[in-house]
Amino acid sequence: MKVLLVQPTTPSTAIAGDDWFVFEPLALEYLAAGITQEADVRILDLRLDGDLKSALEGFAPNVVGITAYTVHVNTVTRLFEVVKQWNPAALTVVGGHHATVAPDDFKSPHIDLIVVGEGVHPLREILRRAASGSRFDDIPGVAMPDSDCFTPLDDATAADLDGLPEPARSLTTTYRSRYFCDWLKPLASIRTSKGCPYRCKFCSLWKLTCGKYLKRTPQMVVNELGSIEEESVFFADDESLIDAQRMKALASLISEAGIQKQYFLYGRSDTIARNPDLLEAWRKIGLVRVFVGMEFFRNEDLDYVGKKSTVNDNDSAVKILHDLGIDIYASFVLRPEFEKRDFRELRRYCRSLRLDYPSFAVLTPLPGTDLYDEVKEELITHNYDYFDFIHTLLPTRSTMKSFYKSYAWLINTVLPPRQKISFLRKFPVREIGPILGRSIRIQRRIKNAWKDYDAD
């Protein structure tokens, strides 16, 4: 049995796409590790190698599995059409985040099976059934596109992160030098937990674990870290720092093991504000960057999305990270209601905190979130290519042209010239020209994004 697992590229219709980061396809590496005894497995990363037809013809897989976030839905559906045109008998399987929260969107004649939730165990059973010619319709965690019958994966099995195999990183050897986020390159990824106990209404990750925060045993994380060759490691958790005691224990074990790497992880601002000693411990073992979902600069906006953190938490977290010399990837959300004065206030706020790397995404009601259920009747487009966190899906209060002009202005002016130069110095000299070129192209696309809706 030959299995091809595919990581899709972001559609060209989307803005930014894979320009600023390309993380290793950890989910596919987990899937591959779970079926190495049942099959000959290959991973094709279309973000770095865009030739699906050559892979199909050269490898001749019996099964093709593709993962998808919401922005990938149209792209992935077309990829499966290519697969079926190549070989109608090939078994096609879709999985990933969007398949879990909105499986009905993959009811296509080109898709045979939909994996909902954690896919390692279902995919292994799919291969066993395929080899024996048995039915698929009663496999836990697998939905049939032509049927409403579905058996969920057992809760205990889905929650057992320690029971999953170690990701098959050897299958991405040819790509590994090109996985990156900004200047962190090459960048490996590891998962130490899953889920979140908070209930932000623009997020569905907490729903995937029924509000539970699932954790791996720290020693297993250390063992896996020891096998990773890259110097830089991204923690692909929904939120890494929530269980402070566990993370302190993990930091101690990493230190005792003598593992020397630099780390990049997610952290809520209120968690950081409450646990400066935890951040200090991690700084000592190599933490160089934290992705902080600051979201907004006003408490009323934070309350609107149910964040359960405050502007004071944001301010405290920034001070703690600055004092420790840890880079801050500060993520902000732009509400469609924002007008020129809101963009000006946000720019002023970012400058007051001396943020070196603020990023800005439009509030996006993704399927599976409470926000989507609340506003889905107001959406101005249902084209998933535009679910890229830059195209607004809701009406803007000002004209859309004015909104995107202000958006582009914010990105272009939020950093003073000296900070821009300091940021660019983090990159090798040979990369600065291409980075500036990409920045200019993306800013131009954002400024003109309002025109995309007429085209759509």
Please check whether residues 361 and 315 belong to one and the same domain. no
In a domain, 327, yes or no: yes
Boundary of a domain, candidates 334, 368, 388: 334
Write down the number of H helices and E strands in the chain: 19, 17
Minimal CA–CA distance to 225: which of 264, 192, 203, 202?
192
More confident residue, 149 or 402: 402
Q: Across the strands, what pairs with 22?
A: 180
pLDDT at res. 456: 61
Please check whether residues 8 and 111 belong to one and the same domain. yes
Report the Cα 76 to chain-centroid distance in Å.
17
Q: In this model, does residue 455 exceed pLDDT 70?
A: no
**pLDDT tens, residue by residue, 25-79:** 999 999 999 999 889 999 999 999 989 999 999 999 999 999 999 999 999 999 9
User: Hey, CA dihedral for 76, 78, 82, 84, is it positive or negative?
Assistant: positive
Please check whether residues 199 and 132 belong to one and the same domain. no
Above pLDDT 70, what percent of the chain? 100
Please check whether residues 15 and 134 belong to one and the same domain. yes
In a domain, 185, yes or no: yes
Please check whether residues 308 and 380 belong to one and the same domain. no
Tell me the C-alpha distance between 157 and 319, whole Å. 41
First to last CA, the chain: 41
Q: Which amino acid is at 409?
A: W
Q: In this model, does residue 317 exceed pLDDT 80?
A: yes
Phi, psi of 320 (to 5 degrees): -60, -45
- Helices 26-34 and 120-132, interaxial angle, to 10°? 40
Q: In this model, does residue 156 exceed pLDDT 90?
A: no
Q: In this model, does residue 103 exceed pLDDT 70?
A: yes
**pLDDT tens, residue by residue, 342-360:** 999 999 999 999 998 999 9
In a domain, 160, yes or no: no
In a domain, 159, yes or no: no
Instruction: Give the CATH number of the domain where residue 296 resides.
Output: 3.20.20.70
Q: How far lies 3's CA from each of 64, 90, 216, in Å?
A: 6, 10, 28
Please check whether residues 201 and 327 belong to one and the same domain. yes
Boundary of a domain, candidates 334, 361, 378: 334
pLDDT at res. 177: 97
pLDDT at res. 150: 82
Who's near 319: CB < 8 A, 6+ residues apart?
A: none
> Can you tell me the mean pLDDT for 429-444?
93
In a domain, 274, yes or no: yes
Please check whether residues 183 and 323 belong to one and the same domain. yes
Q: Which residue range(s) make up the domain with 314?
A: 179-334
Please check whether residues 224 and 250 belong to one and the same domain. yes
Boundary of a domain, candidates 119, 153, 187: 153
Please check whether residues 61 and 81 belong to one and the same domain. yes
Tell me the C-alpha distance between 282 and 264, whole Å. 10
> Can you tell me the mean pLDDT for 261-271?
97
> Can you tell me the mean pLDDT for 204-213?
90
Tell me the C-alpha distance between 325 and 280, whole Å. 10
pLDDT at res. 454: 76
Please check whether residues 132 and 58 belong to one and the same domain. yes
In a domain, 340, yes or no: no
Instruction: Give the CATH number of the domain where residue 102 resides.
Output: 3.40.50.2300
pLDDT averaged over every residue in the chain: 95
**pLDDT tens, residue by residue, 227-260:** 999 999 999 999 999 999 999 999 999 999 999 9
pTM: 0.95
pLDDT band for position 146 (50/70/90)? confident
pLDDT at res. 127: 97
Tell me the C-alpha distance between 443 and 440, whole Å. 5
- Asked if 204 contacts 117 with a C-beta cutoff of 8 angstroms, the reply is no
* Exposure of 99 in the CB half-sphere (CA atoms within 13 A): 27
Please check whether residues 319 and 357 belong to one and the same domain. no
Tell me the C-alpha distance between 411 and 394, whole Å. 21
> Can you tell me the mean pLDDT for 364-383?
97
- Asked if 387 contacts 364 with a C-beta cutoff of 8 angstroms, the reply is yes
Q: How far lies 191's CA from each of 174, 212, 367, 374, in Å?
A: 21, 16, 24, 31
**pLDDT tens, residue by residue, 286-299:** 999 999 999 999 99
Tally the domains of the chain.
3
In a domain, 169, yes or no: no
In a domain, 163, yes or no: no
Longest Cα–Cα distance in the chain = 65
Tell me the C-alpha distance between 11 and 384, whole Å. 10
Tell me the C-alpha distance between 278 and 252, whole Å. 11
Q: In this model, does residue 387 exceed pLDDT 80?
A: yes
Please check whether residues 110 and 207 belong to one and the same domain. no
